[in-house]
Structure formats: C-alpha cells, structure tokens
Amino acid sequence: MNTNDVDYEQDRGLARDFLVNFADIHGEAKYMNILQDVANRKSRAIQIDLEDLFNYKDSDDEFVRKVTENTKRYIGIFAEAIDELMPEPTEPFVDDDHDILMTQRAEEGTENADGSDLFQKMPAEIKREVYIHASSKDRPFTIREVKASYIGQLVRISGIVTRCSDVKPLMQVAVYTCEDCGFEIYQEVTARIFMPLFECPSNRCKTNNTKGNLILQLRASKFLKFQEAKIQELAEHVPKGHIPRSMTVHLRGELTRKVAPGDVVELSGIFLPIPYTGFRAMRAGLVADTYLEAMSVTHFKRKYEEYELGNDEEENIARLSEDGDIYNKLSRSLAPEIYGHEDVKKALLLLLVGAPHRKLKDGMQIRGDVHICLMGDPGVAKSQLLKHIINVAPRGVYTTGRGSSGVGLTAAVQKDPVTNEMVLEGGALVLADMGICAIDEFDKMEESDRTAIHEVMEQQTVSIAKAGITTSLNARTAVLAAANPAWGRYDLRRTPAENINLPPALLSRFDLLWLILDKADMDTDLELARHVVYVHQNKESPALGFTPLEPSVLRAYIASARKVSPSVPGELEEYIASAYSSIRQEEARSDTPHSYTTIRTLLSILRLSAALARLRFSSIVEQSDVDEALRLMQMSKFSLYSDDRQKSGLDAISDIYSILRDEAARTNRLDISYAHALNWISRKGYSEAQLKECLEEYAALNVWQIHPNTFDIRFIDA
C-alpha cells in the first residue's frame, strides 16, 4: 500500500469521525441529523461548514488546510464517508416514478453483485449533493485579489451580480440500457462535454463476445439544475482609474435561483480553470478560462419577505413598537448626519414602509407604493438623502437623469452572448421591482425618456413591443426623485407652476412633492454650520437625545411592519372625503395654486395613513394617522407658505412682538435686556427704529414695562 492510499484512508477516517461525532451548541449530532433528513428525502444538499471542522476537537490544522487548498478532492472524500454513514429512512414518503426506479435499481444491484463491473454500480450522486462552506471569519476577497495561486482552493468573494442565465438541466449521470444483455450501465459526467458509450462494457457481453448496442435512457439519467451568473466587483473595491473586473460563477443544484441581477452577494466556492471547447479551443490554444464553482451564497441585504427574525430581534422590535415616540425615532435614524429635514425624513420613512397593494374582484390593481419627489435649491442634501435611502432599502437602484435613457430605465432587447438569441434585459425600474428606484437630477432628463416612467408609477408594469418580443414586465417600484427648480434655484417672483416645470400628468402621480427652499435665516444657519463642523471634527452624528437605530434594525422593523395590512374603518370615510374636498376648494380659490390636486391625492392620503398605521402595527387606520398624512401634505409646501405669510400676514411691529414673546417663553424669563432684544430682531432683518416703535406701542397696551434709561423690558403678565 503506497503512502497516497494511507493518506486517503486516514483522511476518510477523519471525515467519518467528524460527521459522526461533531455536536452543535445544543449537544446534538449536527451532521447525522442532516443525513437523516437526506435519507428521509426532506433535503438533498449536505453543507459541511469549515468553521465546524476548525472547532472539531480531533481535527488538526493540517487537515483543515488540505480541505481548503484541495477542495474538489476532499468533497469526494466527504461524499464517500457520507455514503458509508447514510442511515435508513425513518419516515414514510410517497413513492413517485423516481422511487420505483431506485428500488428496481437496488434489487438489480444485489443480483449482479459480483463487484467486477464498475459501470453497473449505481453512483451515489443520484441521491445527494455535497458542498463545503468557507469560514466567514476573514474578510472576503475582491475579484482582483483571486490570482492563479488560488486555483483549486476554496475562496470567498464579494460582489454584485450583473447577469444570470436561465436554469438549464446539466447531465450528471448518464444511464444506458443494453439491447442484448439488458443491463443498466451508468456513466458519470464530470466535465461540460462527454463522450457517450456505444458498446456495452458488461461482463456478459464480453463473455458472449457480442457488441451490445447501448440506448441512452433520458428518463432514468440524473440531471442537475445548472445556472451561470456573472459577478462584478463592488465600486468601493476598484482601484483608482481602473474598471471593475467580473468573474463567471457556476451554480448547481440547490444553489440555483438564489441570486438575481442587482443583488450584492458573498459567494464561497472553488476557483477552477475550464478549457475552451469546440472552435474557440483552436483559437485559444493553451489558454484556459477560469470560473468559480459556487458552494454557498449569502446575501448582504435580505428582501423584506425573507426576513426571519430571531428571538432577540423579535423582542427588540416588540420593545420598540411599544415606545410612544417610535415614529420620530425611526425617522430621525434615517441619515442622522444630515441636519434638520425632520418632516422630509418622516415622508421617506413612509416611502420605505409603503401601503398594502389592493387587488379588486374584477382584477383591477391599486398600487401601495408611495412616490416622493424632492424639489429644492442646490445644497439642501437631496442626493445624500437619496443615497442613504438606497442603503437602508433591501433592494434599491440609484440612477441619474442625464445618465439614464428611457430604455435603460425600462427594458432593452439585446443579443445573448451564449445562445445568440434576442433576450430582454431589465432596466433600472425592473431591477428595482419590490424595492425603491432613486432618480437624481430628475429635471435634467429628456422629455421622451421621462414618459417611460408614467406607466411604471401608476400601472406598475413596463410594456414592450420590440424586435418581435411583446410582453409586460413587473415594476412594482417606489420612485424617489430629486430635482432642481426650472432656473436652478427657486424664483419667488414666479408662480410655483413655472418653477416646478414638470408636466401635471407626472406631478399628479407623486404622492408628495416636497419643496425645500434654502432661505437665509441667522438662527438656522448658525445651527446648521455648527452641526456640519461637529460632524467634520468627530466623524459621527451629534447627539439626537437617543442612539440612532442601525440600518439593519430599521430593515428588520420595516420588514415586520410590512406584514400588517391596515384597513380604513367606516367612520373615517366622511372625515377623509371632507378633507379632500376642502383641499380642492382651497386650490380653486387660490390665484396661483401650489399643487395639482386630483383624485390621486385622495389615494395618496389613504396610502400615507395606511403606512402610518403599519408603523404602529395596527390593522385599523385611525384619525390621528389621517391627520398626520394631511399635515405632511401641508408641510411639503411649507417653505412656500412661510414666505407668503411674511408677504401678506403680519406687519413688522406684531412680528417683533411675537419674536420677543417666544424668546422670553423659551428662556422662561420675564426680564429681557434691550441689547438681547436688539440682537434677536436684527437677525430677522428688522431695524432699531422698528423695535423702539414696538416697545412704545405695547407699553401703551400694558403688555410690558420699559426702563426709562436702559430700555430693558419686563413682561407684566406671564
């Protein structure tokens, strides 16, 4: 017996001991339980975790190193150990064609058990799949760090999936029957191509000296699900001035259909070479291509539907939901580094939560996604808010107006490089299905490209009739757009309609159009500047009065909230209807309406109210939810109204009085020094003469007393 055989037997013995004796935290035999599930046909895949092998008391570092560096071989060793240890099924299962075939094969196997015919032994691959999962302790490699020295080794790579092929069957075991001797012959297929057998290799045919004709039995052969994907480096891993690299990934069996284009994933697998076949081999010569044989797939962000909360997470969410101030806490945890914009953040939180989709009896659908447009002056942190929302959302796509065409947003017809057929490639809105699509620089888009968004925003589909392909794709997307006003900055001398410069058909589809104006105000400017300087010094957000929630906690909370489906009770119908009609009346009376109110506005009120009810985990919408939804609609134009109020409403004297009264109330003092008063009102743009006039007028009304020499103020009535 040579040393190789000794090593092989040792390794197989170690693998067998590990599978039998390894116990998890609860003291149960982890892998024997998995094998029992495979025997009972509950699952097919057996995942062997390298971390478990590392922690196993009897395994040495040398064995773990061998498994990591020569994974393909050790999968075979573990597979043989698994076949030896495979227990008998303990639960009955329904017989299908596959079982009848298997029983028949097992009986035949005992009949011809002379052991001489290798081709007549049924390969164990027909029953199970074995994967080795890399340890998640170290940082995953980027694609450009995986060099030739890693060939044959187990590596962990992170990246973004750019394209996926369809799932196709891949032959793993070819089964033939011989016309002469009737034996069943098995041929294992290990490469992408194989040479079929033509002559029967069984002993009986050899003894009789007949060349039995073999017929390939497709029904009895074993096929694996096979999918090819392309993974590309993440933008943050690409060095300066380089373009991102990509790598081909082969997914087999239970790992197929786990990834979709646009997912950020971490893959562990074996890095292997693959020689070119056919005509390409003649051109390529000795050059081989490389690919990753995937062993496990981990998503960085799970979809809302896939969230399975642990006990501690559930307790955390239950504790948060009982907090009376949770609505404010959640909204302030969105982009805590950005100062102010309290109500904008509340609206964005409702965009993340959304309302339930309604499907009526006649098949008509009413969307539940909330669309928001942020229209504002340059430098009010619109793009930063968009980027942060995309980070928090489990599925989000960020595009800019100039950088995306109508086809890039909806869908393009392209030639598939593998099959040379015309295939549809989904654009940004299709990739963001069941997620959020953020479009920056919305006003800079071409008019023809912007019309592509109309259908998506209301019907939630993308219809296409191109190159002989007529179809409709789902795009159940919440659109979050950011735009500048028509002249770059909001011009107060012009009407809102001239400033906004978007067609009414598009505006009415947005649930909230948020106008953010950048006005000079000494107090807010000081606060903002202090905040920015603080963030620059400390690289963290200043105290909010509580620790902001992590994006992962936000995602888990929103995932639980999205399971609730609130309804509007009968007693609120009249209240909502009258609120809507009063908004319409107000708009009809106004000379320059700020918004464009249609029946879609009513649907928006219902959607926002339902999203607010979801945040409370309530199945019924309450009046407070409707009031908050109406308040957000009112506040979205607040920066305009505040300007109107200054133009029309309060005169200078009354305004100065209200400033002094508010400051006295804030500091809880009845005495105000003249110097302080002058400082406060000069910030708001008033003069000393106006202050003196105000002091005399209100002193005559006995509201306050004035000191004759220093002009200090004392309020008479608190």
**HEC string of 536-566?**
HHHCCCCCCCCCCCCHHHHHHHHHHHCCCCC
pLDDT of residue 191: 76
pLDDT tens-digit map of 278-302: 777 777 777 888 899 998 898 876 6
Helix pair 674-683, 688-700: axis angle to 10 deg: 120
Count the Cβ atoms, other than its own, within 10 Å of residue 380: 21
Amino acid identity at 562: R
Which of 651, 675, 646 has the alpha carbon at shortest distance from 663? Answer: 675
pLDDT of residue 642: 55
pLDDT of residue 249: 92
User: Does 649-715 carry CATH code 1.10.10?
Assistant: yes
Domain boundary assignment for the chain: 311-644, 649-715
| Nearest-angstrom CA–CA distance, 528 and 337 | 11
**What's the CATH code, domain 311-644?**
3.40.50.300
Count the Cβ atoms, other than its own, within 10 Å of residue 292: 22
**pTM, 2 dp:** 0.70
SS (H, E, C) 177-235: EECCCCCEEEEECCCCCCCCCCECCCHHHHHHCCCCEEEECCCCCEEEEEEEEEEECCH
Angle at 426 between CA 422 and CA 432, to 5 degrees: 170
| Nearest-angstrom CA–CA distance, 498 and 494 | 6
Q: CB burial class (10 A; 0-12, 13-18, 19+) of residue 195? A: exposed
| Nearest-angstrom CA–CA distance, 317 and 332 | 17
Which of 80, 101, 42 has the alpha carbon at shortest distance from 221? Answer: 101
- Residue 569 makes CB contacts below 8 A (sequence gap 6+) with 620, 621
Whether residue 79 contacts residue 73, with contact meaning beta carbons closer than 8 Å, is answered with no
Listed as ranges, residues in the chain with pLDDT below 50 are 113-116, 645-649
pLDDT of residue 114: 47
Which of 399, 394, 418, 421 has the alpha carbon at shortest distance from 410? Answer: 399
Which of 175, 269, 201 has the alpha carbon at shortest distance from 231? Answer: 269
Whether residue 411 contacts residue 464, with contact meaning beta carbons closer than 8 Å, is answered with yes
pLDDT of residue 645: 46
pLDDT of residue 547: 75
pLDDT of residue 34: 85
Which of 578, 628, 620 has the alpha carbon at shortest distance from 602? Answer: 578
Whether residue 155 contacts residue 271, with contact meaning beta carbons closer than 8 Å, is answered with yes
Backbone angles phi, psi at 513, to 5 degrees: -110, 110
